[in-house]
Structure 1
Amino acid sequence: MTDVYIVGIDMIPFGRYPTRTVPELGAEAAWLALDDAGLGIRDMQALYCGNLMEAHLMVGQRILREMGLTGVPVTNVANACATGATAFREGVIAVKSGLYDVVLAVGVEQMGRGLLGGSGRSDGFVEEGVLGSNTMPAMFAQIGVEHARKHGTTFEQFAKVAVKNHHHSTMNPKAMSQRETTLREVMEAEMISWPNTKLMCSINVDGAAAAVIASERAARRLGLLARSVRVRASEMTSGPYTAKEFAIPDFNEVTRNCARLAYEHAGIGPDALDLVELHDCFATAELVHYENLGLCQEGEAGRMIDAGETALGGRIPVNVSGGLLSKGHPLGATGIANLYEVATHLRGAAGERQVVGARMGLTHVVGGSFGRGSACVIHVLERV
């Protein structure tokens, strides 16, 4: 099997695009990624498209209608918050197997406003009021409360995650929100679901990101190997059986399993990483994922945020893009946008927010809902 490389990658600024369509946003990101690689749509041998809200409407084919109907195979992917990363992974697998030499992966989403979740399951049972709330803020609040019960994590420590990521966003021109917030401002904001205030919740925005994936042979032939980023590992897991899985998705266990596989297949440990873009859909989520990804020991996440270890300039910078809390979280686009951020640092092109000397980075997304299961995708990227 061949090594696989990202030879072109980009994203549109995340925000609100009420006058544009999903295919238009996806096509714009695709053109940006193709321009980054110096290639055209006719150079692509397949398209993998991640979109959740319009998954049944053949978004990938509609993107090609905007760009040029080349007749290549199109695979449309929907996999909760892991949608974009799953589409990218499908492209990686196809190239690694030798089926194709160069493919395009696109993640795109237009989001509504308000809380995600809250609907009943297909079997008619509604957890709301029986097992608590099945809105996303409540699910991730429960994860934070459980961590606090076990390890004494404080409201202030959770809030510091938001302060850090909001600060990082001021250096990212493609982030939806680019403003500083003080610790007091975060803690005194409207409470959404304890301990997550409004400023500790990710932003529902519109967005798109895309990547051109190539085999080593193609990257060499096209003269793109020197500026490419190697995909060192691409792993995906679903939620295993745990005592609470049928009540609430165990985002911790599914992430730990995926991280273990990613490190094993990349041949590294977490100490080899220079930066991480992880799934901070809520401030509580980022903190628990420090431990799930092995960035610190069990129960040390609160100390880690207090010490500034995950801030730009710290031991292992996390979500230097501003994360989902500030950059925004268009579900289908998030996974590839995370890859864009890490790849940009590995290329040394992140400007003011550059992680100096970055050689190895990890991206993580995880999604799911009550009674439906979960999905986690982790990629390890390496500078050539």
Structure 2
Amino acid sequence: MSDVAVIGASMTKFGQRDAWIQELLAEAGEQCLDDADVAPHELEHLYVSNMASGEFEGQTGVPNALAHDLAAMPAYTQRVDQTSSSGGAGIYAAWQSIASGASEMTMLVGGEKMTHRTTGEATDVIASLTHPVEYKQGVTLPSFAGLTARLYLDRFDAPRESLGKVAVKNHKNGVRNPHAQFQKEVDLETVLDSPIVADPLRLYDFCPITDGSAALLFCPAEKASQYTDEYAVISGIGGATDTHVVHERADPTTMGGVVESSNQAYEMAGLDPDDVDVAELHDMFTILEFLQMEGLGFAPKGEAWKEMDKGTTGIDGDRPINTSGGLKSKGHPLGASGVAQGYEIYKQVVGEAGDRQVDADVGLACNVGGFGNCVTTAIMEGRR
């Protein structure tokens, strides 16, 4: 099995874009090829992470069209859909294509076009990933988040302000990210006074509806130096599935998919949580940052909020989390989000993160589908 390197990366501006899905994908793909100085005809595999281009735009066959738009024929193409963790699943698929020896040059492009639909329409598309038993009762992902947040706060005696501080931190980080949808700081009072969405969570505890795309380029690690002096190696990766029906879980505050997928990644990399310098977590809701921190081993059970209060997760802390601004500030174009997490970790470990650069040799990205229904965790180590 070959070691797998990431030799190029790109991310488009996230937010409300006039471009449609094919244009967004092509924009990121072209930028990624340029970043690594690789010609389109060198691609052997081309993966597209996308959850719902058919539902949002009536557009299918997006990988084939992208190969045409990039002049990447006759590369093998494949769409990867794992709901809101499609990007992470795409990283896993691209890693497999190189590690297996099936390809020596693979590109992953993730993207979603969402903002042209009303909030209700977009929410309905996203809610379709819930189990039919729950969906017909009107249960949505925000309601899962609210119920779990209330359980967490009550069980672990955590102050409501601790969740608000997640939003404040990630908005502050987003100001440093030129690609982020929101580049404006918010204070704790604003977060706590915003409208209630699913008690105890308020408007600023949720990520926005977003358009955008991102891309990563992969090759065997032994060939990476032919293209660049600075690259990242995917030293560990894992994927796992939890119960699709959330109420069947023994403990809703434990994300089993996060625990299992990270254990796989740590074992493959020969690392443990203390070795991780920086992490990108799937903060679709602020409570998810705490649940993932604990599932990944960054904090004991019920104590992630204490690390937040101590400043551990700030950009100047001992383990910065969501230096990109996270989904909360950067935005959440479903199929692109996991790829954009990979983009941020790649930039951090090769020392190209600009104003948000931290001291990082090892980075971790955790991409979550639904409310922990499916999870991919990837570890990258810099080589420079």
TM-score clears 0.5: yes
Aligned to 1:25: 24
Aligned to 1:57: 60
Cα distance in 1 between the residues matched to 2:17 and 2:129: 31
Contact residue 251 and residue 366 of structure 1 kept, 8 A: no
Cα distance in 2 between the residues matched to 1:223 and 1:78: 30
Give a deviation string over 1:290-321, Cα, whole Å, max 9, x none: 11111011121111111111001101100011
Q: Following superposition of structure 1 onto structure 2, how do residues 135-150 of structure 1 map, counting pairs within 5 Å? A: 135-150=140-155
Cα distance in 2 between the residues matched to 1:279 and 1:339: 12
Give a deviation string over 1:137-184, Cα, whole Å, max 9, x none: 111122212211221122111111000001111111110000010100
Structure 2 residue 338 is the aligned partner of structure 1 residue 335:
yes
Contact residue 40 and residue 72 of structure 2 kept, 8 A: no
Aligned to 1:84: 87
Question: Tell me, what secondary structure is at the counterpart of 1:265?
Answer: helix
Structure 2 residue 321 is the aligned partner of structure 1 residue 318:
yes
Q: Which amino acid aligns with 1:7?
A: I
| Counterpart among 286, 289, 297 of residue 289 in structure 2 | 286
Q: How far off is 1:125 after superposition?
A: 4.2
Question: Tell me, what secondary structure is at the counterpart of 1:234?
Answer: strand
Quote the sequence identity (%). Answer: 29
Contact residue 49 and residue 111 of structure 2 kept, 8 A: yes
| Counterpart among 196, 199, 205 of residue 200 in structure 1 | 205
Q: Which amino acid aligns with 2:350?
A: R
Cα distance in 2 between the residues matched to 1:237 and 1:195: 29
For structure 1, the 5+ residue unaligned runs are none
Structure 2 residue 297 is the aligned partner of structure 1 residue 298:
no
Question: Tell me, what secondary structure is at the counterpart of 1:5?
Answer: strand
Cα RMSD (Å): 2.3
Q: Which amino acid aligns with 1:5?
A: A
Q: Which amino acid aligns with 2:362?
A: M
Q: How far off is 1:190 after superposition?
A: 1.0
Distance 1:244 1:125, change over 3 A: closer
Aligned to 1:260: 263
Give a deviation string over 1:339-376, Cα, whole Å, max 9, x none: 111111111111111112x100000011126xxx8210
Contact residue 53 and residue 113 of structure 2 kept, 8 A: no
Distance 1:57 1:322, change over 3 A: same
Aligned to 1:173: 178
For structure 2, the 5+ residue unaligned runs are none
Distance 1:265 1:122, change over 3 A: closer
Q: How far off is 1:332 after superposition?
A: 0.1
- Length, aligned pairs only: 374
Distance 1:302 1:121, change over 3 A: closer
Q: Following superposition of structure 1 onto structure 2, how do residues 1-384 of structure 1 map, counting pairs within 5 Å? A: 1-18=1-18, 20-54=19-53, 57-111=60-114, 112-114=117-119, 116-117=123-124, 125=133, 127=135, 129=137, 133-220=138-225, 222-224=226-228, 226-239=229-242, 244-245=247-248, 252-356=255-359, 358-368=360-370, 374-384=373-383
Distance 1:106 1:155, change over 3 A: same
Give a deviation string over 1:92-151, Cα, whole Å, max 9, x none: 10100111111111101011442635857899645555xxx5222111122212211221
Cα distance in 1 between the residues matched to 2:352 and 2:83: 30
